[in-house]
Every structure is written in C-alpha cells, then in structure tokens.
Amino acid sequence: MAKSTKSVLGGMTILGVTGIVCKLIGMLFNVPLAFLLDNTGMGIYQGVYPTYNMLLTISSAGLPVAVSRMVAHSLAKDDPRNARGAFRAALSLLAAVGCVCTIVMLVFSRTLANDMVKQPDSLRGFWAIAPCITVVCVLSAFRGFMQGQQDMVPTAVSQLIEQGGKVLVSLPLAYLGSRRSQAEGAAGALLGITIVEALALGYMCVLYLMRRKRFAQYEQLSRDPERGWRAQTRELMRIAVPITIGSCIVPLAQFVDSIMLVGRMVSSGLAQEEAQSLYGLFYGLVIRLINIPTALALSISMSLMPAIAAAKALEDHVAIRHETNTGMRFAFLIGLPASIGMSVLAEPIFHFFYAGARTAEEIHVAASLLQVSALTVVLFTTVQATSAVLQGIHRQRIPMYTLVIGVALKILLNYVLVGTPGVNIHGGPIASIVCYGTSMVLNIIFMCKYTKMRFNWIDWVLRPGAAALIMGAVVFALRSVLPLNRLTTILEIAVGVAVYVGAAIALKALKKDDLTALRRGRKAKA
C-alpha cells in the first residue's frame, strides 16, 4: 500500500453529508413520534434511552476506535496480516461484552425502571432495547475495520439504513403501541430501533464477505511478527480502555441528568408533571436538534483519527501537523456557523418541525433553551477533533481526563442551577457549555504541546468566526422582517448557508484546495 495518508476531507465529506442526511431523516422519525407520544410518552422514551446509551458506550465506544487505529497503523506499514488479526480480536471482544451488557439490562430492567429512572411504565422499553446493545457492538467492529482502511462509505451506508429503517419500522410499531398506551408506544419505538440495527449489521456482514478477497490482495511487505490473539487483545484494551472511559463520561452525565434534573426542578418548586414535561422538551426536542450538526463533528473525528494514526506509524510529523491543521480548521468552519445559525433561528426551527405537535408555550420554552444550547455545537465539534488527534498520536488518556473535569463541573452546575427557582431547566444548557468549553480548552493545550503546533487563531477562529457573524447578521435581519412560517424558515436557512459559504471563500476561511478535496469526496461517495 502507498505510504501516504488519504484525504481527511474526502472521508469528512462522505460521513458529514451522510450524517446530516441521517439526522434530517431522523427528524422525520422524531416529529411524527412527537405526534404519537405526548410529553409523558417522550419522557418514558427519553428515560430509557440514556441508560441504553450508557451501556452501549461502555461496551462499544473504545474498541471500534482502537481497531480503526490498529488497522490504519498496520496498513500504513504494509502489514495487512496484523490488521486482520486486530479486527478478529475486536469482533470477539465486542460480541462478548455486548452480550454481557444486554443480559445486565434485562436482569436489572425492573430496578432501572422503578428505582433509577423512577418510571415503572418504562419496563417494557428496557426489554425492547436491550438486545440492541449486542447488535450495535458487533456492527461497530465492522465499522472500525472499514474506517481503519480509511473507507468511510460502508459506515455511511449503514447509517442510512439505521435512520431510514427507524422511519419505516419504529414509527409503525410506535403507532401500534400508542393505541394501547403511551408506555407501549415508547416500547414499540425502541423495539423498532433494535430491528433496524440488526438490518444494518446484516448489510455490513454481507459487505465484509464480499470484500474479503479484495483485502487478501494487499501485499504483506512488513517483516513484523504476527501478533497472536492475546497480544492483539492486550493492545486493543490498552488503547480502548481510556477511550471507553472518556466516551462513557458524557452518556453517564446524561444518565445522571435523567435521574437528577426532574428531582432538582421539583425541589425548585415545580410540580412533578411540569418538571417531567420540561425534561421531555429539553432532551426530547432540544438535544435532538443539537445532534443534527454534531453529525459533522463525528465525521471529522472518524476521518481524522485513522489518518493521524497512519502518519504516526510512519513518524511523519509533517503529515500529522497537516492533518491536525485541516481537522481543526473544519471543526471551527462547521461548528461556528452551526452554533450561530441555530441560536438565531431557534424559534423558527421549532415552529418548522413542531407546530401543531407542541403548544406555542412549549415551542417558546424549547426555543429559549436552544438559543443557549446551540453554543455547545462548536465546543463539542472541537472537542471531537482534538480528541481524534490525541488518540491518533497515542495520547488517548488526555481526552478522558479533560472530560472528567468538564462533566464534574456540569453535574455541579446542574445541581445548583436547575435547583434554583426561576432557573430550573435553563441551567442545563449553561452547565453543558461549561462542560465542553473546559474540555475543549484543555484538549487544545495538550494537542498543541504534543504535535508541536501553535494555536492558529487566524485560520481556525478569526476567519470562520467573521464569516459566521456576517451570516448571523444577515439571517437575523431576514428574521426581523419576514413572517414566521415554514417557507420563510427554509428561505432564511438557504440564504444563511449561501452567505456563509460566500463569506468563508472571500475571507479565505474556505480555500481552493478544500473545495477540490470536497468535490473528490462527493465523487467517492457516488
């Protein structure tokens, strides 16, 4: 194989475009789900999901990243034999750990429903989603193997299967269940997710079998000895454990939120039903919208890490700095306009998706939460990019430590602010900003230290920031004069995108080489 890293931007384009499409398809799932389930049903759904997400992260967050790094490292050194061995070791580990986590959720489902989430009606939801942990664990092993080859198309296609399948499978099951009760509707939606993930896994298995002969054609030029299963497993765990711990921190904080926020709002003077409704708005609507642009953040990290790892394997420090600079520029290029745009258009966006599904008062409250929460997008995007760089240069413990500090501050602020009368749920976005802001600053400090780079204020922040401010001013002016409806919201978003791209090119935040690489990425996807 050629000893040069492939274009990060090509992989970012494939995963980024697919991620946005998937998130928009996801809205086609979430909006009808909001019609099928009231705030009580959404509260049950959101009560189950953080627990599932936490167990899923524990079981599968670190190993796919580890196998991606090990595969990229081995292939950069022309050693496909050990790349294949790393995948096989990861597959067996992920399958075993996934099964254990599924059994844990099934065995303790009643305790989780009654004592942890404090929603007895969520029991069947835990039953429905538990097998999904094993399925996604195995699926993530295949994704890590493909990403290690810097081939992002299989991951993109499997993501499309997941999101499209949720609309076609989960919604009908939610509808059938909701005819009996809100709890049955939530359980139906969760069962649909399990079925759809199994379909995505089936696709990846078939693709792997079809590509085995092609992978076997990679020439074994490295003279490194073949590592046995135990050696591969030790290396995987050495890389995966700190990444897993770091990845578990945010889902753990969300799990704590699912337990803490309602109780703290009640202590601030709100009724239990009102507190549950606000929690459903925050996690069921606001956080779901925030997750749309964060798909681009994940595309940066998934593309950047194997490229950095391949350069690290060859000790190519020029390539490491080049790829790092590219990743950081695009983290701010994507994160800044997303944050400013969602903040300025918070209320029109909620009217676009939820008019008729939620009351005017609920939309107003959700929009006020989104105006502040949107600022976490740029912070989260940069955290993902810096974490990918640190993981690629074998400094995977650092993002774990910085997130521990950030989440500790988040939990403390949640306890204080959410429990304060007059603040309640509005303390949640503030706590998140402090969490990701702290982690971002610390990650950048260590990234610059170990890559021997200076913080590039002009290219990373100033140019994209100026373009984003121009966009925000134009969109705010349009919003001030245009009526509030779906058509004008689409117009405002389209104008905002056009203005930002034009301003970014004019200010040289987006460069000619970037556009060339992005076009290549789209062709690769096609």
Dump pLDDT digits (tens) for 69-105: 899 888 888 898 989 999 999 999 989 988 998 999 8
Task: Please give the Cα distance from 502 to 466 (Å, whole number).
Answer: 12
Output the pLDDT for position 517: 55
Q: State yes or no: pLDDT of 356 exceeds 90.
A: no
Task: Please give the Cα distance from 164 to 448 (Å, whole number).
Answer: 40
Instruction: Grade residue 459 by pLDDT with cuts at 50, 70 and 90.
Output: very high
Region 238-256 average pLDDT: 73
The token pair that represents 323 in the structure block:
């790829």
Output the pLDDT for position 138: 93
The token pair that represents 24 in the structure block:
């928009």
Q: State yes or no: pLDDT of 443 exceeds 60.
A: yes
The predicted-structure confidence for 11-51, as pLDDT tens digits, reads as follows: 777 777 777 787 777 767 777 887 788 767 777 887 787 77
The predicted-structure confidence for 147-174, as pLDDT tens digits, reads as follows: 888 888 898 899 899 888 888 998 899 8
**Which of 50-59, 123-132, 178-187 ranks highest by mean pLDDT?**
123-132
Task: Please give the Cα distance from 186 to 192 (Å, whole number).
Answer: 10
Q: State yes or no: pLDDT of 257 exceeds 90.
A: no
Whole-number mean pLDDT of the chain? Answer: 85
Output the pLDDT for position 525: 43
Q: State yes or no: pLDDT of 231 exceeds 50.
A: yes
The token pair that represents 418 in the structure block:
């959410």
Region 462-485 average pLDDT: 94
Output the pLDDT for position 251: 66
CA–CA distances in Å: residue 503 to residues 444, 464, 468, 512:
26, 9, 8, 14
Output the pLDDT for position 207: 93
Output the pLDDT for position 500: 95
Output the pLDDT for position 60: 67
Q: State yes or no: pLDDT of 6 exceeds 60.
A: no
Output the pLDDT for position 526: 42
Residue where the block lists tokens 């989260």: 380
Which residues have CB under 8 Å from 10's CB, separation 6+? 152, 303, 517, 518, 520, 521, 524
Instruction: Grade residue 371 by pLDDT with cuts at 50, 70 and 90.
Output: very high
Q: State yes or no: pLDDT of 175 exceeds 80.
A: yes
Cα 466 to chain center, whole Å?
A: 26
Output the pLDDT for position 250: 67
The token pair that represents 157 in the structure block:
């296609």
Instruction: Grade residue 2 by pLDDT with cuts at 50, 70 and 90.
Output: very low
Output the pLDDT for position 514: 67
Asked whether the beta carbons of 184 and 178 are under 8 A apart, the reply is yes
Q: What letters, b where the CB count within 10 A reaches 16 and e where it falls short, cover 83-101?
A: bbbbbebbbebbeebbbbb
Task: Please give the Cα distance from 327 to 307 (Å, whole number).
Answer: 10
Output the pLDDT for position 5: 39
Output the pLDDT for position 252: 67
Sign of CA dihedral 99, 100, 104, 105: negative
Please give the model's pTM, rounded to 2 decimal places: 0.76
The predicted-structure confidence for 101-119, as pLDDT tens digits, reads as follows: 899 989 988 888 887 767 7
3-state secondary structure of 187: helix
